[in-house]
């Protein structure tokens, strides 16, 4: 093997593999895999309901696996950066489900992906109480407080954007570039992962009125904005 191949293998792949082994050894993957599967259930159902919107979820699932893989390999910040992408694609998919013309323009003209979470909420009252009432009238009885879903979306988006834009406190290798397993960083990632998937599950359950899957409902309840 050439020097460069050997270097790539021994000095990147092998140490990453070591981190992955440590991650597996020291963590219980039951919640991550259970809620990954619940998210794949959502993916499956959306594909069945609307093939076009389902294509966005294909991309979301790909990003989700990449994110989990990054985190298990010690690349915690990259893993969190990908979570913002997942949140954006997910929320956009629910917007486009009800805005087929906009989706058509987006798809056919390769329009700017400017349906940021904040833009959707500010411009379209996305998933505010009055928005939800159009397809789920009983939202008052299950939401934690008025507009709790959109408020949570804003908060979560802000949190993930801070990491994407490199807000100082979100940086994790300030002191040195030492790439190794970190229990605290992995746990922080896990929490962000589950809360991101949770809010997407809330959007799905409310928009599609699907209260039949207990794992999806359990996932949705994690963020605490509704009680299902």
Partner 1 sequence: MNKIINRSLGDYIVDRTESLNSENIRKFFIDKSDDKINRLLDSSQYLLQGSRGIGKTMLMKTAEISAADDFGRDSILAVWVSFEESIRIERIKVIDSEADPFLQWTMGKILIEVLNKIIELKPSCIDTLSNRLANFFSYSGNSKMHEYEQYAKILNDYIDVLEVADIEDNKALSKKAPSAELVKILDNPASFKRFMLQLIEDFELERIVLLFDEAAHVFSSSQQEKFFTFFKSLIHPKIACKASVYPGITNYGKYFERNHDAKELRISWSPHESEDVTYVKKILKKRIQDFNIEYWNKLTVNNEIINTVCTCSNGNPRFVFHIIDELQNTNAFKQKSITTTMLINCLRTVNEAKWSEFITLKNRLVKYKQHIIEAETFIKNLVIPNLREWNNKRRSAGKKLSVGFYIETSAFEKISKLFDILAYSNFITVNDSKKSMGKGKYGYYITINPSLLFSDLVIRDFSEMNNISINIDNNQAYFESTSEINKLIQKLSKTEEEYHCSNSKCEFITSDISFTFCKKCGSKMEISEQEPLYKILRGHSIENLNLSHKIVSRLKTKFNTIGEIYDAKIDDIRMSYIQDVRIEKIKNAAVEYMAG
- Tell the smallest beta-carbon distance from residue 224 to partner 1 (Å): 23
Give the binding range for partner 1 (CB under 8 A) out of 35-43, 94-102, 105-113, 114-122: 35-43
Instruction: Give the list of residues 6+ apart from residue 42 with CB closer than 8 angstroms, or none.
Output: 57, 200, 201, 204, 216
The residue from 19, 23, 38, 71 that contacts partner 1 (CB under 8 A) is 38
Among 13, 26, 105, 111, interactor with partner 1 by CB under 8 A:
26
Q: Which stretch, 29-37, 78-86, 142-150, 167-175, contacts partner 1 (CB under 8 A)?
A: 29-37
Work out which of 215, 217, 222, 228 binds partner 1, going by CB under 8 A.
215
Classified as helix, coil or strand, 98 is: coil
User: Does 218 participate in binding partner 1 (rule CB under 8 A)?
Assistant: no
Give the shortest CB-12-to-partner 1 separation in angstroms. 21
CA-based torsion, 123, 209, 42, 191: positive or negative = positive
Left (φ > 0), alpha (ψ -120 to 50) or beta: where does 74 sit? left
Nearer CB in complex with partner 1: 132/216: 216
28 scored as a contact of partner 1 (CB under 8 A): yes
Sign for the pseudo-dihedral over CA of 63, 76, 192, 157: negative
22 binds partner 1 (CB under 8 A): no
From residue 27, how far is each of 23, 110, 145 by CA, in Å? 6, 41, 35
40 φ/ψ sector (left φ>0, alpha ψ -120 to 50, else beta): alpha
Positions in the binding site for partner 1 (CB under 8 A): 26-30, 33-34, 36-38, 40, 61, 65, 215
């Amino acid at each position: 093997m050439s020097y460069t191949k050997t270097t790539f293998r021994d000095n990147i792949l092998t140490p990453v593999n070591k981190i992955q082994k440590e991650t597996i050894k020291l963590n219980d993957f039951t919640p991550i895999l259970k809620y990954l599967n619940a998210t794949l259930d959502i993916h499956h159902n959306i594909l069945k309901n609307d093939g076009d919107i389902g294509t966005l979820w294909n991309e979301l699932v790909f990003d989700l696996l990449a994110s989990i893989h990054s985190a298990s390999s010690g690349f915690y910040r990259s893993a969190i950066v990908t979570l913002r992408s997942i949140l954006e694609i997910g929320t956009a998919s629910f917007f486009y489900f009800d805005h087929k013309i906009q989706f058509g323009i987006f798809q056919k003209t390769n329009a700017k992906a400017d349906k940021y979470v904040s833009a959707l909420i500010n411009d379209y009252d996305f998933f505010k109480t009055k928005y939800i009432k159009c397809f789920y009238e009983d939202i008052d009885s299950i939401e934690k407080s008025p507009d709790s879903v959109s408020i949570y979306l804003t908060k979560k988006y802000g949190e993930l954007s801070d990491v994407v834009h490199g807000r100082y406190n979100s940086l994790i290798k300030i002191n040195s570039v030492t790439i190794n397993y970190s229990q605290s960083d992995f746990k922080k990632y896990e929490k962000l992962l589950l809360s991101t998937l949770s809010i997407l599950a809330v959007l799905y359950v409310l928009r599609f009125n699907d209260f039949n899957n207990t794992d999806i409902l359990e996932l949705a309840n994690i963020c605490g904005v509704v009680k299902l």
